[in-house]
């Protein structure tokens, strides 16, 4: 693939500078995170690349309430981080292992992953159920829920995603992720993530999301509503999985039919909730 | 053109690169032909190199990004005409057929073994999951990585 139209590769040192460069470049300018998507699918009219990895935004820090991940941390840095490993029984690393291969994860950044917002992204459904927030910089910094961001029309405009916050978890917090794909390395035919908070054996709160339906991942409020007040028995799990199959909107694309995806969401929710139930039994 | 400095296989060098050029393109034009061009879209792993200690697919890394960094290619595995234990193991176990995927596989192995000296078969498969081979059935590569691990830890003793 030729990228010979690119005439400038700029390496700003502050978000202010990056934003100015992008505004000056207009339509012909593009931010680069890890560059995995940009290098592969660069539109012919993009002539200026602005690298965000020189902004020093790759640290991962834990505060009392959340783990703050800089936008240019690579997916493997997130996977290997000890604070991240403490979130809901290590579910983030478990999911990350299913994203491409280590070769990709050593370059691809968490920021680029959330901004490119692929409908089959494995990262997005899990971060939605973990209630992740993001900080955007467009001259001012603002923080919002990841779900609110995708629901809003403007999405990113020219903003720089500077960090992602994942709440720290405590006793009773559990999460699981399931990806269906033809091979371990392929992208998802469908994926889903479940979070539950359990007190005295009963679920008090639930968040469930599915991606690759084939649309971008969203939360599934009707499915979530079936859990609070319930213990995670086989019967409850079966019923919740059926609600997922009957209510989640799926469609055909070249990877799978909508009908097949309905079976996948049923099996995915079931497998996530069974995994959590097993952890509860094992007292982990 | 943009001037960048890279330390490749222990040698510090300067290059003038095009702003849109990838590391794969730069390395091949500079004669590092172990870095193979396969899919050029991050899918096959033939172009795998070690950049600042980690294995990456060089076809989707902009060359400018690596400025100031350290690169290892399969050319740099060999030492004074002596093959690296990873290379020896790949040969001994018959993990090389046409050889097109081999340098990439070896670099992915290098990353794995430098972070995990005694990997399980599952860990080996995960580490090589981004390296496609059209000839073998992957069984011999997994064996080769195990053998390489033994050779390296034996050497370290
Ligand atoms: C071979 C391969 C296999 C893959 N397999 C999977 C998989 O199994 N599961 C999965 O979920 N994903 C998969 N992906 C997708 C992958 O996760 C994304 O391509 C990658 O995460 C993009 O990250 P990046 O940092 O390289 O983004 P870039 O290519 O750098 O950027 C992507 C987009 O985001 C913009 N951008 C980047 N960073 C920022 C920022 N901080 N602020 C604002 N805008 C920004 C860029 O302008 C660009 O438009 C795969 C990709 C490849 C190449
Ligand atoms: S050539 Fe780079 S991954 Fe195939
Ligand atoms: S040996 Fe031929 S591609 Fe692997």
**CATH topology assigned to domain A60-167:** 3.30.465
pLDDT by position in tens, chain A (length 284): 568 899 999 999 999 999 999 999 999 999 999 999 999 999 889 999 999 999 999 999 999 999 999 999 999 999 999 999 999 999 999 999 999 999 999 999 999 999 999 999 999 999 999 999 999 999 999 999 999 999 986 777 789 999 999 999 999 999 999 999 998 889 999 999 999 999 999 999 999 999 999 999 999 999 999 999 999 999 999 999 999 999 999 999 999 999 999 999 999 999 999 999 999 988 76
Q: Ligand 2, from B47, B73, B101: best to mutate by most atoms within 8 Å of Cβ?
A: B47
Tell me how long chain A is: 284
- pLDDT tens by residue, A245-263: 999 999 999 999 999 999 9
Residue A19 Cβ inside 6 Å of ligand 1? The answer reads no
Q: Which CATH architecture has domain A173-281?
A: 2-Layer Sandwich (3.30)
B129 touches chain A (CB under 8 A): yes
Q: For residue B24, which atom of ligand 2 is closest to its CA? A: 2
CB-based burial of residue A109 (10 Å sphere; 0-12 exposed, 13-18 middle, 19+ buried)?
Answer: buried
What share of chain A in percent tops pLDDT 90? 93
Give Cβ neighbours of residue B5 (< 8 Å, ≥ 6 apart).
B12, B13, B14, B15, B67, B68
Overall pTM surpassing 0.90 (yes/no)? yes
CB-based burial of residue A6 (10 Å sphere; 0-12 exposed, 13-18 middle, 19+ buried)?
Answer: buried
Q: Residue A8 is nearest to which of B19, B54, B60, comparing CB atoms?
A: B19
The pLDDT of residue A183 is 87
The pLDDT of residue A226 is 96
Of the residues A12, A103, A108, A113, the best mutation for testing chain B's interface (the one with the most B CB atoms within 10 Å of its CB) is A103
On chain A, the residues whose CB falls within 8 A of the CB of B22 are 3, 39
Q: Quote the minimal CA–CA distance from A46 to chain B in Å.
A: 10
**Rounded to whole angstroms, what are the CA distances from B142 to A66, B121, B124?**
39, 7, 6
Q: Residue A106 is nearest to which of B56, B64, B126, comparing CB atoms?
A: B56
The pLDDT of residue B157 is 60
Strand partners, A29: A48
**Rounded to whole angstroms, what are the CA distances from A192 to A16, A169, A175, A266, A270?**
37, 20, 11, 10, 10
B20–A3 C-beta distance less than 8 A: yes
- Supply A25's token pair: 């470049």
* pLDDT average, residue stretch B1-17: 97
3-class SS of residue B24:
helix
B129–A101 C-beta distance less than 8 A: yes
Q: For domain A8-54, say whether CATH 3.30.43 is its number.
A: yes
Q: Quote the minimal CA–CA distance from B81 to chain A in Å.
A: 28
Residue B39 Cβ inside 6 Å of ligand 2? The answer reads yes
B61–A39 C-beta distance less than 8 A: yes
Distance in angstroms (rounded) separating the CA atoms of residues A219 and A212: 12
- pLDDT tens by residue, B79-104: 889 999 999 999 999 999 999 999 99
B54–A106 C-beta distance less than 8 A: yes
Strand partners, A205: A197
The pLDDT of residue A2 is 65
Q: Residue B60 is nearest to which of A4, A5, A35, comparing CB atoms?
A: A35
On chain B, the residues whose CB falls within 8 A of the CB of A104 are 42, 57, 130
**Domain boundary assignment for chain A:** 8-54, 60-167, 173-281
- pLDDT tens by residue, B14-72: 999 999 999 999 999 999 999 999 999 999 999 999 999 999 999 999 999 999 999 99
- Reported ipTM: 0.96
The pLDDT of residue A1 is 58
Residue A112 Cβ inside 6 Å of ligand 1? The answer reads yes
**CATH topology assigned to domain B85-156:** DNA polymerase; domain 1 (1.10.150)
Distance in angstroms (rounded) separating the CA atoms of residues A89 and A92: 9
Q: Residue A103 is nearest to which of B20, B48, B64, comparing CB atoms?
A: B48
Q: Quote the minimal CA–CA distance from A198 to chain B in Å.
A: 32
CB-based burial of residue A202 (10 Å sphere; 0-12 exposed, 13-18 middle, 19+ buried)?
Answer: middle
Distance in angstroms (rounded) separating the CA atoms of residues A271 and A256: 20
Helices (H), chain B: 23-29, 85-92, 102-115, 121-127, 139-156
B29 touches chain A (CB under 8 A): no
B145 touches chain A (CB under 8 A): no
Q: Ligand 1, from A10, A112, A138, A190: best to mutate by most atoms within 8 Å of Cβ?
A: A112
**CATH topology assigned to domain B2-76:** Ubiquitin-like (UB roll) (3.10.20)
**Domain boundary assignment for chain B:** 2-76, 85-156
């Amino acid at each position: 693939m030729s990228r010979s139209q690119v005439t400038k590769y700029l390496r700003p040192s502050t978000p202010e500078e990056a934003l100015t460069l992008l505004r000056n470049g207009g339509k012909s300018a593009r931010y680069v995170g890890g560059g995995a998507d940009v290098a592969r699918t660069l539109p012919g009219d993009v002539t200026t690349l602005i690298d965000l990895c020189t902004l020093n935004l790759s640290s991962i820090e834990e505060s009392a309430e959340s783990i703050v991940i800089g936008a240019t941390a690579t997916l493997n840095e997130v996977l290997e981080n000890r604070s991240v490993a403490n979130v809901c029984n290590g579910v983030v690393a478990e999911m990350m292992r299913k994203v491409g291969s280590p070769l990709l994860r050593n370059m691809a950044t968490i920021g680029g992953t959330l901004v490119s917002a692929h409908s089959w992204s494995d990262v997005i459904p899990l971060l939605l159920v973990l209630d992740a927030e993001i900080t955007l910089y467009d001259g001012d910094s603002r923080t919002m829920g990841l779900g609110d961001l995708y629901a809003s029309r403007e999405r990113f405009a020219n903003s720089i995603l500077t960090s992602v916050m994942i709440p720290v978890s405590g006793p009773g917090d559990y999460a699981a992720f399931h990806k269906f794909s033809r091979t371990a390395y392929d992208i998802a035919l469908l994926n889903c993530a479940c979070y539950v908070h359990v007190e005295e054996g009963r679920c008090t709160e639930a968040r469930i999301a599915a991606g690759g339906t084939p649309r971008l991942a969203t939360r599934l409020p009707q499915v979530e509503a079936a859990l609070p007040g319930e213990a995670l028995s086989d019967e409850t799990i079966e019923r919740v999985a059926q609600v997922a199959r009957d209510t989640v909107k799926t469609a055909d694309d070249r990877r799978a039919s909508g009908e097949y995806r309905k079976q996948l969401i049923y099996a995915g929710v079931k497998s996530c909730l069974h995994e959590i139930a097993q952890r509860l039994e094992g007292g982990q | 053109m943009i001037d960048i400095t890279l330390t490749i296989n222990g040698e510090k060098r300067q290059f003038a690169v095009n702003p849109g050029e990838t590391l794969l393109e730069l390395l091949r034009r500079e004669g590092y032909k172990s870095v193979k061009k396969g899919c050029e879209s991050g899918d096959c792993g033939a172009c795998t190199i070690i950049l600042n200690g980690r294995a990456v697919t060089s076809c989707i890394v902009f060359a400018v990004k690596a400025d100031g960094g350290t690169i290892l290619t399969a050319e740099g595995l060999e030492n004074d005409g002596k093959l690296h234990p990873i290379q020896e193991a790949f040969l001994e176990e018959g993990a090389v057929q046409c050889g097109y995927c081999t340098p990439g596989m070896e670099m992915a192995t290098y990353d794995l073994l430098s972070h995990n000296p005694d990997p399980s078969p599952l860990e080996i498969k995960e580490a090589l999951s981004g390296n496609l081979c059209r000839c073998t059935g992957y069984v011999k590569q997994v064996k080769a990585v195990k053998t390489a691990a033994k050779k390296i830890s034996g050497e370290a003793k």
